[in-house]
Chains A and B, each alone.
Chain A
Amino acid sequence: MKAFNIYLIGVGGQGIGLLSEVIIRAADKAGLNVRGVDTHGLAQRGGTVSSNIRIGENINSPLIMKGQADLVVALERHEALRGMNDYSKNGSTVIYYDAVWQPLDVRLRKAKEIENEIVEKEAKRRNIDLIKVYINDLSDARMQNMAVLATMAKNKLIPNVEKEHYLLAVNDLLTGDVLKNNLELFEKVYNG
């Protein structure tokens, strides 16, 4: 299998770390060779955070080259555009949760908020499949990542990684009520 590169991006505090860990483990459960690396430390305080995941036989560095991602997964709208700009291959896929956490310059009225239309236009220009996720009645913002994960499973966005692999990985990493709530949401989104 040719390398499949996944670039995850979001804002510190959105749960990119857990999402990345789940995907890495799901790929492993599917019997695939996988490497990854997350942002740690300073950048996590409300800044842009990212994860790199590489799946396949001929992978060496855990880091993806710019413009070489087959899939960009974003948890926030501005970051979706940033991830697409920097990492998407033309003709690849971007999935994002449509939350808006305005960057400093938007809040200071120095820049405009990025509207969905702008993201859509840029995706269309580059022949990128764009999948927008948004759950109206989500009880906890910290489960937005699970909504994205379930949508990824539903649309089979990672070759050879199936629903059961994602679920095995989630079961490995969460426990108790947190696990229960996340699994409920996963099923709801997957079957919705």
Chain B
Amino acid sequence: MKTLGEILISKEPITEILMGNHALVRAMLESGVKVVTSYPGSPTPEIAEGIRSIPKDKNPMYFEFSVNEKVATEVAFGAAMNGHLSTVFFKSVGLNVAADSFVQLGLFDLQGGMVIVLGDDPGANSSQNEQDNRHFSKLSYIPMYEPNSPKEVYEMFKEAAKIAKEKHMPVILRLTTHVCHAKEKITFDKLEIEEYDYTPKFDHINAPHIPIAARALDMKRMALKRLEEFKEISNNSKFNEIIDNGNKKRGIIVSGLPYLSLLDVLEYANEKVDILKIGIVNPLPEKKIIGFLKNHEEIKIIEELDDIMEKDIKTLAYENKIYTNIIGKVDIEDWIGEYKPDKVYDILKKTWPDLLPDIKMEIPQVKLNPRPPQLCPGCGHRSAFHAIKYALKDTDITVADIGCHTLGYLEPYNMGQVLLSMGHSTSTGAGLSLFNKTRNVVAFLGDSTLFHAGIPGIINAIFNKHNLTLIIMENGTTAMTGHQDLPSIGKNINGPTEAIPIKKMLEGLGIKYIKEVDTYQQTKLREYVLEAQKEEGLKVIIAKHPCMLKLTREQRRKGTFRNNKVEVTDKCDHQYVCISDFGCPAYQITPEGDVWVQEDLCIGDGSCIQTCPTNALSFKIVSKEGDK
């Protein structure tokens, strides 16, 4: 079989099963995208995986993981201003970080054109909220496409890119989690990589690109005019499609993945309902909507997350004196969660009880507790939390940040009591330390997050003399999103770089108390935390240990993985520190209360051995084994 890279770069038309994120890469190549930037975040990192799978000498695109989404947007913007078709992609909440630059994009004459790919996350599968980024499309006057399947991802990106290029403008492609990750068979067009004109095209005449005062208003006028012109594209687009089943009474307006959920639910329906499927969510196809409203007695709008289409459609009906009964959201639950088929069934049943039969779910007789995600066996964060916990009083305050270490909030660690956003922890911790003489504040921050948005908070804490301890959880990778590189490790996706050492950087900022320790050295780490609490100002402890998931994978690949296991010896007197306090998932318990090691899970790192008060843990076997 062809590798992913070979499929993506195949010159001939090719039919393959690909996930949405990978199909997007093929669309980029066919569209002639030259510059791609990103910051990793689910549900989008597989786009980068796709780009990376293409052999370097055959890849016409420049790609980088920038340090955050705002920077990524700016690099792509600069490239577009210089005449290169560019794409920036990131997750839903990444747009909040990028927003300051993003909201300006519509105002510019972007020489090369630009497509912004957003990975929204209805259902908050791997995000701290399920924000609806269609609001940003309205806010910025930038048109937005919303595909429902990998095939549409491919087709819509190509259309968006074509328009962006022709009209020198930005266009948004809004994906959602299960569109990014859905897999289906797609037939791709042939790929022609044209001879590229490398002449820098930046129009360097001063002023047109400076949105200040009166210029800003002219630029806004241009953005609005382009959006107005886009209405015609929307009205004529095949992605805004009426499915006419001849039902004069009932019609449904729906967009994105909920359209496919709806089709599945309607398989059970007692009658065929007409559907207006929306693919361009801003600007809406007004003419099609007006016609659809007029032709039906009742219209149901099935809209995931917020009521953006609903408001516009009701306005259209009012302005056009259409008295069709329009049913939008009816209660708070309609605003929450992903519109999977089950949810669409419930919504439709609530609206038109006679349309669908009752589908009875068997009620299970044995209930199960959920299995939340947890730190991997050998994770340095576990060792760190275990050590730090004993250096803090119950009343002390711990502030979590975003990354694998967020999972420390779970039992048995209970480390991290408040979480806001990427890089917030130092500043939130600073706020918590004001008018607070009695409760120590300890903030956690991952290394990738430090570079992403953590640095201003640290500088602020120095500048304004805040009093807290910051523990930087350095594992040398962006672990949660699939092990992307970061500035401190001396390489990026394209090759070696000059590493930015974290300790040196913080010393440069003038922080007096900085300690660095491997998290497996639990006693030393604990001492540092106790010591730091006695000092004034911002104290930093760099708690290091390489991500063991990444390290063991690399070792297995190279054949250097030492397949050690830990065992519980007969010295065990059932204090359960390993299982209840340290909490490595490899430790399991029999119904009789004996502790044993599940060897499927144990990686033999031994970070647990020191935690046993009776020295009942030890290494079992030492053998060398390659990848099997």
Contact = CB atoms under 8 A, between A and B. Distances in A.
B432 interface: no
B371 A61 contact: no
Contacts of B481: 41
Nearest to B480: A42
Contacts of A58: 267
Interface string A21-57: 0001100100001111111111111111000000000
Given A24-B183, A40-B42, A60-B260, A109 B407 contact: no
Q: Which of B360, B374, B410, B411 is most buried by chain A, counting CB atoms within 10 A of its CB?
A: B374
Given A44-B373, A125-B365, A126-B362, A37 B183 contact: yes
Contact of A101 (B373, B480, B585): B585
Contacts, number: 183
A104 interface: yes
Contacts of A133: none
Nearest to B183: A36
Given A41-B126, A47-B374, A142-B628, A107 B362 contact: no
Q: Which of B184, B185, B361, B370 is most buried by chain A, counting CB atoms within 10 A of its CB?
A: B184
Interface string A98-110: 0111111111111
A90 B365 CA distance: 14
Nearest to B583: A107
Given A34-B185, A42-B373, A66-B342, A181 B585 contact: no
A80 to B, nearest CB: 10
A65 interface: yes
B214 to A, nearest CB: 46
B497 to A, nearest CB: 26
A109 B589 contact: yes
B46 interface: yes
A122 B461 CA distance: 57
A12 B377 CA distance: 12
A42 B371 contact: no
A3 to B, nearest CB: 8
A178 interface: yes
A43 B125 contact: yes
Contact of A62 (B182, B267, B364): B182
Contact of A85 (B263, B368, B412): B368
Interface stretch (A111-119, A147-155, A159-167): A111-119
A67 B341 contact: no
B589 A107 contact: yes
Interface in B30-66: 42-43, 46
Nearest to A118: B366
A122 B184 contact: no
A41 B341 contact: no
A114 B368 CA distance: 9
B174 interface: no
A79 interface: yes
B359 interface: yes
Contacts of B576: 109
B362 A67 contact: yes
B264 interface: yes
A188 to B, nearest CB: 15
B366 A101 contact: no
B376 interface: yes
A42 B368 contact: no
A177 interface: yes
Contact of A43 (B185, B373, B628): B373
Question: Does more than half of chain A's interface fall in helix, strand or loop, or is it mixed?
Answer: mixed
B607 to A, nearest CB: 16
B176 to A, nearest CB: 11
B580 interface: yes
B626 interface: yes
B17 interface: yes
B142 interface: no
Given A44-B373, A108-B412, A140-B628, A61 B260 contact: yes
B17 A101 contact: no
Given A36-B183, A61-B257, A142-B628, A103 B369 contact: yes
B373 A35 contact: no
Contacts of A44: 373
A101 B362 contact: no
B628 A107 contact: no
Interface string B106-145: 0000000000000000000110000000000000000000
B587 interface: yes
A178 B557 CA distance: 11
B181 interface: yes
Contacts of A12: 373
Contacts of A59: 264
A141 B600 contact: yes
B138 to A, nearest CB: 27
B597 to A, nearest CB: 12
B178 interface: yes
Nearest to B379: A45
Nearest to B341: A65
Contact of A100 (B46, B372, B588, B593): B588
Contacts of A46: 371, 373-376, 585
B376 A99 contact: no
A3 B136 CA distance: 38
A45 B374 contact: yes
A6 to B, nearest CB: 13
B368 A122 contact: no
Given A42-B373, A43-B126, A46-B375, A62 B178 contact: yes
A101 B374 CA distance: 13
B591 interface: yes
A63 interface: yes
A105 B579 CA distance: 11
A24 to B, nearest CB: 6
A61 B362 contact: no
A104 B371 contact: yes
B583 A48 contact: no
A104 B412 CA distance: 9
Contacts of B373: 12, 42-47
A132 interface: no
A11 interface: yes
A48 B370 contact: yes
Contact of B261 (A63, A78, A110, A125): A63
B410 A181 contact: no
A7 B604 CA distance: 33
A136 interface: no
Contact of B600 (A40, A101, A110): A101
B608 to A, nearest CB: 13
A48 B17 contact: no
B417 interface: no
A140 to B, nearest CB: 4
Contacts of B182: 35-37, 62
A63 B178 contact: yes
B430 interface: no
A99 B601 CA distance: 11
Interface string B173-193: 000001001111100000000
Given A48-B370, A63-B261, A125-B365, 11 more contacts: A33-B185, A35-B183, A40-B126, A42-B42, A46-B373, A48-B371, A61-B257, A143-B628, A171-B1, A177-B627, A178-B627
11 contacts: A12-B373, A25-B17, A37-B183, A43-B125, A65-B264, A100-B598, A104-B410, A104-B583, A109-B580, A109-B589, A173-B1
